[in-house]
Homo-oligomer: A and B are copies of this chain.
Amino acid sequence: MAVTIHDIARELNLSSMTVSRVLSQPDSNLVKPVTRLRVEEAAQRMGYRPNRNARALASGRTNIIALWISHLSTSVYSQIAQACRVAVQGAGLEISISEMDWHFRAHEGHRLFQWPVDGILAVDPPPQDVLEKMLSSTNWKDVPRVHLGSGQSVPWEGDYAHVDLGAATRTAIEHLVSIGRKRIAYVVPWGGNQPGMWHYDAYIEVLKKAGLRPECIVMDDWECPTVRRTVIEHIKAHGHPDGIFCHHDEFAIATFRALRDLDLQVPKDVALIGCEGNIFLEYFDPPISTVAMPVDDMCRTAWELLRQRINEPDSPPRNAILPFEFLARASSQ
């Protein structure tokens, strides 16, 4: 079987405690240097690997941060996973990525990945009331947690690092107005075209100021084929807008294809802007404009908030709102 601290202790005629100190507190000077060296040498030679389950059980700490994220297939989500990993590993902890299916019911909580963790980074979780009901039957409800992402789940009472979606939308729509577009549509997921939603409020505000009429094209789900079909049907029924802002870059990709299916030119007939920062957009012909999330900044900030929360569980909640960057490309010129 695997080598334990007791095996090493026996080999060296020491107590397991001394071995434990050497192996779990590399920087401690509670052990005589000579002893430390002997232990380290023996651990190396005998192939010792700590049992993390035992460590966690005894100490109550796991040194793991969970990353909750929904569909990794969205390009920006995978960038977020990468950036969080770098931030967390930089602090000497490990990250465990869990693809969360946010559709689980509260009573199914027991079926989830409920390993103990020291903290949670939750990317675009459901609204606070829904989320808390879900977590009520899990181990996680009292684990320090920071929310990050596009801000769909703000406001909530805890810590968060989000991007300023309202400002992003405003910039994009104002750009469409500034290049003379008069019929500016918004491709939006189901439920997104209501007052109170950041994107929507900004869209309405800018259009009103410009004296233009809103036109929402509402998607039943987030799948590209759905978006492509829905946009085609909308345009066949109502004619085409001359500018389109998409709630999400994948919507913009599918909308682009829909426009080409109808033989409409981008940007000549329809100017197009996405939202998120998908890296493939600039490789389209023409390259597609977008407002990009500051992924690295956001993840670093979220981790910093989580680190502080872990160290000072009772400090007041903090948050950071980060700016988007508008990437103007040929699709909106």
A contact set with B: CB distance below 8 Å: 2, 49-54, 56-57, 62, 64, 71-73, 75, 78-79, 81-82, 85, 94-99, 110, 113-116, 138-139, 224, 228, 253-254, 256-257, 260, 279-280, 282-285, 287
Decide if A283 touches B57 in the complex (CB within 8 Å): no
Q: A73-B79, A94-B113 given. 12 additional CB < 8 A pairs?
A: A49-B110, A49-B114, A49-B139, A52-B114, A52-B115, A53-B57, A53-B62, A73-B78, A81-B99, A97-B97, A257-B282, A284-B284
10 closest A-B pairs by beta carbon, nearest first, are: A257-B283, A97-B97, A72-B78, A73-B78, A53-B56, A53-B57, A49-B139, A53-B53, A94-B113, A260-B285
Of listed A71, A95, A99, residue having the most chain B CB within 10 A: A99
With a cutoff of 8 Å between Cβ atoms, the chain B residues found around residue A224 in the complex are 279, 283
Cα–Cα, bound, A182→B333 (Å): 38
Pull 10 A–B residue pairs with CB atoms less than 8 Å apart, ordered by A.
A52-B115, A52-B116, A53-B53, A72-B81, A85-B99, A95-B113, A97-B98, A257-B283, A257-B287, A260-B285
Q: Can you tell how many copies of this chain the complex includes?
A: 2
With a cutoff of 8 Å between Cβ atoms, the chain B residues found around residue A95 in the complex are 113
Decide if B283 touches A285 in the complex (CB within 8 Å): no
Chain B nearest Cβ from A48, distance in angstroms: 10
Decide if A82 touches B99 in the complex (CB within 8 Å): yes
Closest chain B residue to A113, Cβ basis = B94
With a cutoff of 8 Å between Cβ atoms, the chain B residues found around residue A115 in the complex are 52-53, 64, 94
With a cutoff of 8 Å between Cβ atoms, the chain B residues found around residue A98 in the complex are 96-97
Cα–Cα, bound, A169→B305 (Å): 48
Closest chain B residue to A284, Cβ basis = B284
Chain B nearest Cβ from A318, distance in angstroms: 27
